[in-house]
Each structure stands twice: as C-alpha cells, then as structure tokens.
Amino acid sequence: MTSGGVVAIVRDGLPDWLLPVREAAETVRPEQLSRFLPPAEGGRSSAVLLLFGDGPAGPDLLLTERSAALRSHPGQVSFPGGRLDPVDGDPLGSGPVAAALREAAEETGLDPAGVQVFATLPALYIPVSDFVVTPVLGWWREESPVAPVDPAETGAVFRVPLAELADPANRGRFRHPSGFAGPAFEAEGRLVWGFTAGVIDRLLHHSGLERAWDASRVIDLPLGG
C-alpha cells in the first residue's frame, strides 16, 4: 500500500498508454482527488469500476447512463458500481474490488473474468447520498458484450474515447442550482457531471493526459439534473 492509500493489484500486462494512469493511481493523495473525504465513521460503503479498454476509436472508458425512469438522478451518466455486500471478498480483503466487478456485471452484462484490476483509488465521499465510494481501476484485457441488463435501472452502456474526454472542446464546468459547481464533459452526445466527472477530471490531470481547457466555460445541466 502506498502513502496515498492506493493498492496496486496487478502491475504487468497493461498497455503502454495505461501506465501513466496506473502511476497516478499509485501516487495520488485523497485530497488531490476531492475536497469531500470520508467521515471518520459512518457512510455507506460502495465501489465503482473505471474500466479502460482499447476500443474502435482508441483507448476508452466504459460508462453507463441511469434509466430515465429512476427517481434518483434519472438519466445521469455514471461508472458501473454499487454498494458493498457483507459477503464481498477480494484480494484486498475489504470488498471494493469484488463489489465493483459484481455490480458492473449486473448492470452491463460484463464478464469479470476478462477484467484485470490494477489499482484502486482512495475512497471518496458523496455528501448528498452519504456514500463512501472506492474507485476500482481495471483493464479490459478480454472484452465481452455489454448492454443494459435491466432497462429499468440502466438506460445505456457506452464507451467514451479518452481523446474525446480530454478534448478541450468537450470540457467545461456545470453549475448546480444549489450553488455547487464542478467539472463537466460532453461525451457521446451526453453530459457527464457530478462525482463521475470529478473523478475523470482528476485522473486525466494527474496522469498527464489532460489538455489545456477553458475552466470558465459553463455547461448547463439538463432539466431534472
């Protein structure tokens, strides 16, 4: 375990373009990722999967879109993932890897056997939902078909090229009616914001994949966001 609380699961077998991401994950500190850090006690433990692949348009990231029928955050783009179960077990002995892979499989139909987990990021906090979220990083070593397993929960499953996320033309900041502002991305015809955009933003920055962009540009949230 590194000083930043990050655990490297696998060090071999990654493509060269993914090595800076692994290095960033192994060295980044929690406060470099978010100003919202987990409380000393409490919080609902969960995990999300940041699955990197080598898609038709080059290196990419797997994302999902929540069903528009959901009462909570309908239509919002997110990483696949969910809450930890008491029975979760993984090489860390703490559950995030198992939870991230299980939930990703349940949401997208992904075959976890084809995923090479290579790091976890420090746990982060989402105050509005009281979730303590551990981002799990994986390489899609052997791809499998993906699609919404339950349309009532997941509206879409899609891959976004990292080049598209890093393109300054697709970046800006959203401003929520509550006054909160943060990074936002326009990708594959969708708006990525909130926790998901925050993690992508910091990972691009600390891995050196970021390109200079206009942080003064404001992207409006969709109605109901």
Domains, the chain, in order of start with CATH, read 16-160 (3.90.79.10)
The residue-averaged pLDDT of 9-24 equals 85
Task: Say what the pLDDT of residue 12 is.
Answer: 73
Under 8 Å between Cβ of 66 and 153? yes
> How do residues 173-223 score in pLDDT, each as one tens digit?
998 777 778 999 999 999 999 999 999 999 999 999 999 999 999 988 765
Query: What tokens does 116 get?
Result: 């090479």
Q: What is the mean pLDDT of residues 106-129?
A: 94
pLDDT at 75 over 80: no
Residue 86 binned pLDDT confidence (cut-offs 50, 70, 90): low
Section 124-151 average pLDDT: 94
Q: What pTM did the predictor assign?
A: 0.89
DSSP-assigned states of every residue in 73-136? STT-EE-SEEEPPTT---TTSSSHHHHHHHHHHHHH---GGGEEEEEEPPPEEETTTTEEEEEE
- Over residues 150-179, the pLDDT tens digits come to 998 999 999 999 999 999 999 999 987 777
pLDDT at site 196: 96
Burial of 87 (0-12, 13-18, 19+ CB in 10 A): exposed
pLDDT digits (tens, 9 = 90+) for 20-59: 999 999 999 999 999 988 998 889 999 999 999 999 999 9
